[in-house]
Chains A and B, each alone.
Chain A
Amino acid sequence: MLFTRWKWSLVGLLLSSVLMLLLMLSTAGPAFATGCAEDGSTCTYTLTGGALAPTYGSVTLAPGALNGQDQTLTITMPVAIIDQDGNGWNIQAGLTPFISGGNTLPTVLNVSMTGACASGSSCSLPDGTAPSGTSAVSLTPGASTLTAAGSTPTLSVLISTAANGSAYYGMGSMTITTTLTASLLARNTYAGTYSGKIELSVISGP
């Protein structure tokens, strides 16, 4: 028992010695370790981060059930984007036909887009719009329709950031939602399980 206590005491002493050595050898103070002189000399301040960072959301397809009426096929593709490097970016998308056995859903789809700033971000949307709050506003896509074709998606540019002086809009944190729609006529829309491929990419550069 006494021996164990003595052992722990030695461990404590060793730790204390190590701490003292660290203190003695320290050359940098903990306060104001980085910063600028207050004497009017040149101060360098680096703002890091802000590189293009897209976060792809889940694609949703609707409707999920037929009811004998005409309906609208709606494919919704949200993507959250953070960018503060001023280099601009563009969104590209493509898809293959949705096929179930011998049936194919419409292959020509209308494109619409919206953008909304994230909470706490006074962002600029790719067209330069600076909406207030987090309300979504319409964006004009570069292509009014997308055609589903082939066995792998062929990407088309849907929107690009506009120039803003020497930089580009699309700054801050925002969600851009691309919506593809097509009419599902009751007479030629069949129940079943359809499969297709959808691809959406956010690429750096205007």
Chain B
Amino acid sequence: MAFNRWTLSYIVYFVLVIGGLLLLILNPAIPTFAASSSLYSGSTSHRLNHADSLSTTYGTATISPTSLNGLNQTLSITIPLQVVITSGTDWHMQIGLTPLASANYTLPTSLNVGLTGYCNAYNDHPYCGWHSYNNSCYLFGTHFTYYANRSINSIVALGSTPTPVTVYDDSTGCTTGNITFTTSLTASLLARNTYSGTYTNKIQASVIAGP
């Protein structure tokens, strides 16, 4: 009798844990980048080779810090973007932004550019590939973050609408797999000229098929 109770208890416990994990994975509120985005920006030079495909899911840009403390800090704008791509598809990624401005103040407009790729799990691809150092094409295993070769070292926020510039170019069709590219824009926030307040701007990321 006691054995049956214990067995039943473990079975129920196991089902609950597995069920919880499944719910976590399937929960639509958690961004899994599973679906293609309607924000996909195709250009007139859109060109896909027979079986090749390219889909894009735009993430949410985050900006930090959120609080001032009297010390110098680093403004960091993180722009994630996921592509699911088979090799041979030429494409490039562009980023543009306008200045972060409040009624009286503007945060630094010249920002350094950093770019990484993260290889997501993907059934059809045991690995991902992208341009890394020296623009060479490297293969990376899943759940791996590594430097991606950026096209520019800095970007300037200007105007009232974003002017996109290419930050990653895959004209050789190197990139393959399910990859989250994260563009990091950074600038120093000197304590003496960084004011608390509410700032607004516009950020635009685009993945464009074609060279």
Contact = CB atoms under 8 A, between A and B. Distances in A.
A20 B193 contact: no
Contact of B31 (A29, A120, A124): A29
A84 B204 contact: no
Given A13-B12, A124-B192, A36 B31 contact: no
A166 B104 contact: yes
Interface centre among A5, A40, A41, A124 (most CB of B within 10 A): A40
Question: Would you call the interface of chain A mostly helix, strand, loop, or mixed?
Answer: mixed
A32 B202 contact: no
Question: Would you call the interface of chain B mostly helix, strand, loop, or mixed?
Answer: mixed
A20 B19 CA distance: 8
Interface in B181-199: 190-199
B62 A48 contact: no
B29 A47 contact: no
Interface stretch (B69-77, B84-92, B133-141, B146-154): B69-77
Nearest to A51: B196
Interface residues of A, number: 57
B171 interface: no
15 contacts: A9-B9, A13-B12, A20-B19, A32-B80, A35-B62, A36-B61, A40-B96, A40-B162, A41-B202, A42-B201, A45-B100, A45-B200, A120-B71, A120-B72, A172-B191
Interface of A: 2, 5-6, 9, 12-13, 16-17, 19-20, 23-24, 26-32, 34-51, 53, 82-86, 117-118, 120-124, 130, 166-167, 169, 171-173
